[in-house]
Chain A
Amino acid sequence: MRSLGRLRGLGVLEGSVKNRLKVLRAERDWSQGDLAERLGVSRQSVNAIETGKYDPSLPLAFRIARLFDLPIEQIFSDEA
């Protein structure tokens, strides 16, 4: 499973981008389910994005940015 670890390190299997989704959601007092419904995705997707297990696609990232009325870079940032 070392190779899987490498792929994860490259961001192929898991997220490599940090995000403020959990904070933004908490500020609005939304549950993961509420946010998922507003975005039209599953609650598991929201959880995976928040916990850094999954980086959303560009269209979904734009939907998230529109929902919070913020530029994408204020929600997502790379770890470098």
Chain B
Amino acid sequence: MRCGPKFSPANRRYQLRFWSAMTAYVVLVAMISWITPIDHLPDGWRHAAALLPVIPIGVVIWAMARALEEMEDEYFRLLQARSMLLATGILLLGATAWGFLQEYTDLPPFPVIILFPCWCAAWGVSAAWVSWRVR
């Protein structure tokens, strides 16, 4: 997400927050999956450890919200908000469609662990569409 000129303080802050959180995410996923597998931990500890990667994802979402607030150009802020809203709509519609197909056909359950990456992909598409619309 760009929040103003490439090297603006707001953009630097967003890049720092985003990449710090993503690094923490990768480290935590690697830790609970391969470095210190959590399969044999007692239930409470296992639940807590399994939720650790959710924290950096929360930080990424917070960083996106802050970047939107700190975006210097109000027109770009509107376009960005519009594309995020559209991405959310696409995701909700897709998830609902999957739910009905899962309920009434033999479609397997949706892997909700990829919900956020799906939203990011939908955001990429919607941002391109919104940019194309206002050319």
Contact = CB atoms under 8 A, between A and B. Distances in A.
A44 B74 contact: no
B82 A13 contact: yes
Interface residues of A, dominant DSSP: loop
A54 B75 contact: yes
B74 A57 contact: yes
Nearest to A53: B134
A42 interface: yes
- Among B72, B73, B75, the most chain A Cβ lie within 10 Å of the Cβ of B75
Number of chain A interface residues as a range: 10 to 19
Number of chain B interface residues as a range: under 10
A5 to B, nearest CB: 13
A42 B134 contact: no
Contacts of B78: 54
A72 interface: no
24 contacts: A13-B82, A40-B72, A41-B73, A41-B74, A41-B75, A42-B73, A42-B75, A42-B76, A44-B75, A44-B76, A44-B134, A45-B73, A45-B74, A45-B75, A45-B76, A48-B75, A48-B134, A49-B75, A53-B134, A54-B75, A54-B78, A56-B74, A57-B74, A60-B74
Given A41-B74, A44-B76, A45-B74, 4 more contacts: A42-B75, A42-B76, A44-B134, A53-B134
